[in-house]
Structure 1
Amino acid sequence: MTINSTQFDGNQWVSQVQAWALELGFSQIGVASVDLSSAEAGLLAWLEQGFHGDMAYMANHGLKRARPAELVPGTLSVITVRMNYLPRDTPDGWQTVEWVRLDHPTEGIVSVYARGRDYHKVLRSRLQKLSDRIAQAIGPFGHRVFTDSAPVLEAELAARSGQGWRGKHTLLLNRDAGSLFFLGEIYVDVPLPVSEPVQEHCGTCNACIEVCPTQAIVAPHRLDARRCISYLTIEHAGAIPLELRAPIGNRIYGCDDCQLVCPWNKFAQRSPLPDFDPREGLSGQQLVALFEWTEAEFLQRTEGSPIRRIGHERWQRNIAVALGNALRAGADVGPFLQRHVQHPSGLVREHVLWALAQGR
C-alpha cells in the first residue's frame, strides 16, 4: 500500500502496534529491515557443513530465507514479535525443578515449551488478529504472518529488531526475559522505522556450550543440529545414532539444558495465557505409561499439541531410548522392554532391542 508520509508518523504508529500486541499476549514487538544480506554467508556455510541434517526444508528455498522481499514480494518491513511461554503457575526456582526431573530416569521429560498448546496455533491466530487490528486503523495492506512455519530467519530478524541478542547456543536472549519465548513475524508492505538492535551480554560465559549432553554447540553461535537432542527427538525420522542415545537420558521430546543453565533465564517471564499451561499426561509421567499409549491414545492426548507432529512411531522410538538409559541406571524396566521385542515397527523394535542391551 502507499502511505502519505506527511500524515504518517512511523514511530508513533509502531508504538500503537506495540500496545495492541500487548493486549493480545505478545511480550514485545520490533521492526527489522528486509536487508539480511550480511547473514547470507553464515547461512550458506551452515548448510554446506550439513549441520541442518534431515531438515531439507532449510536448504530448499535457497537464499529466500535471508531475503524477505523475495519470499513475499512487496515486503518493505518486518514486524517481529516475541511471546513468553513459561507456564503461569511455574514456581520460583523452576530451573532446579527441571534439573531434578532429569535425575529421575523413569520419568519422561518433555521440553517446557511443548507441554501446552501448539505454539504455532497460538501465535498464528494472534498474529492474524494483530494484522486485522492494523488493517482497521490504516486500511487494507499487504502482509503475511509467520511463526516457525516458512523459510524465515526468525532469530536473525528478531535480533536485528531489538528483541535481544543471539546467545552462544544460537537462541535469542533478552535481558528482561531470558530465552523462554516464541518468535513470530508479520511481513508488511509498509515502510517502517527500524528498531535499534541491542548489545550482546554473554561475555565469557560458555555454560550452554559446556552443558550440552551431546556437544551439539560446536563453537559459539554454531550449532550442529545433527547432534542436538531437540533435533534427534523431533526432526529426525530414522534411527537415532548409537553414540547419541545414552546422552539423551530421559528426554523424550526436545531438550532444555542450554536454557536451564543460562544465567539470563533467572529473568524468564511467565506467560499470561493459559495456552502454555502443562497438559495432564505430558509432565511428570512414567516412561512405561507413555510407551503404552496406543496410536489412538497418542493422537487423542496430543491433539492441539506440537508433539503430535512427530507421530506415534517416533514417540515410542524416543521412549525406548529413554527406557534403555533407565535400565542402565538400575531401573526395573527390563521385563517391560522384553514384552516389546516383537514390536510391529522395525524402527521401534531396533531401539527396544538396544534398550534391553543396556542392562547387560
Structure 2
Amino acid sequence: MTEYRPVKQPTRNPPRGAARTSAARAPAADARAQRAAGAVTARTRVSDRWHSWLGHHREMAAEALRRFFATPMASAMTALVIAIALALPASLQLGMGNFQRAVAGWDGQPQLSVFLRREARATAVERFTESLRGNAAVAEVTYISPEEALAEFQQTSGLGDAIVDLGANPLPGVLLVRPANVAETELEQLAAQLRESALTDSVVLDMAWVQRLARLTELGQRLSLGFGLLLALGVILVVVNTIRLHIENRRDEILVVKLVGGTDAFVRRPFLYSGLWYGLFGGLLAWLLVAVGVGLLAGPVAGLAASYGSGYALQGPGPAYLLGLGGGAALLGLCGAWVAVARHLRAIEPR
C-alpha cells in the first residue's frame, strides 16, 4: 500500500530591501499612532494673543468696576476726597478764566494823555493833532475839547452844579494818544517827544494799571498751577494708600496666581483699573462740585454786574472742562495705582 506524505514546500526568504522597508515603516506607523493618541503642540497666532489680551483687559476693567460698587460707602468716600482735592485748583483756574473774560472788554492798551495848554489856539491844536496822526509811532489820536471834557466830568462825577457855579471851564483840552508799539522804552521815548511840544502842558502815561493787572493775572495763574500740582500729588497719595489696602486684602489670591505661573502684568492689571475708576469718578464729582459752586455764585455776580451797567455772567464748566477734569483725574488715579503696585507687589512672592 502506497504511503502518501505531504510534500514540504521550500521556504522563501524575503529580499533584504523589503525587510528593511517594513522595518522602517513600523516605527513611522507607531509615531503616527502616538501623535494621534497623545498631546499636540500648536503655535499661537498673533491675532489670538491680541484677542486674549483685549479680553483680559475687558474682564479686569469690569471686575474692578464691580468691586468699586461692591463697597459703595468706602468707594464714595475715596472718590469724594479726590473730588475735593481736584475741585480747589479747578475752581481757581475757572475763576481766573472768568476774571480774564470780565476784563477783556476794558481798554487794556496803554495810552498817553496829553493835556494841552489852556491858551492854545484851536488851529494850532488841529495842526499838532494831524502831525501826531502822521507819526509812525502813533496808532490813533483822539481829541477831547474842553467843552466835551466838562460835559463828561459833570455826568460822571455828579458835581455839575458846583462846576457851573465856577463860571469858567477849568478843564483843558486833551489828546488821547494810542501808541503803535507797547514796549516800555518806545512808550517813554514817545512821551518825551510829546513833552517837548510848546502846546503840551503835561503828559501822563496810563500804563501803571495795565501792568498791575497783568501782574495780578500772572500771580493768579501761578497760584492755580502751584495748587494744582500739590493737590494732584495729594490725589496720587490717596490712590496709593487705597490700592495698597486692596493689595493686602487680596494677598492670598495674588500668591495663588503667582504659584500657577501668573505674570506680574497679569496680577497688576486689576489694581490699575481700580485706580483708574477711582480717579475717573473723583474727577466727575469734582466737576459737579465746581458746577454747583458756579450756580450758587452766578446770581450774586450777575446782580453786581447789573449795578455797574454790565451784562456780565459767570461762565460755568462746560463739556470740554468735564472731559479734561475727568481724563486728568483718571490719569492721576492710574499713576497712583501703578506706584502702589510697583511698591507693594514685589513683597508678595511665593516661597
Normalized per residue, the structure richer in helix is 2
Q: What band does the TM-score fall into relative to the shorter chain?
A: under 0.3
Greater Rg, structure 1 or structure 2? 2
Q: TM-score, normalised by structure 1?
A: 0.21
Q: TM-score, normalised by structure 2?
A: 0.21
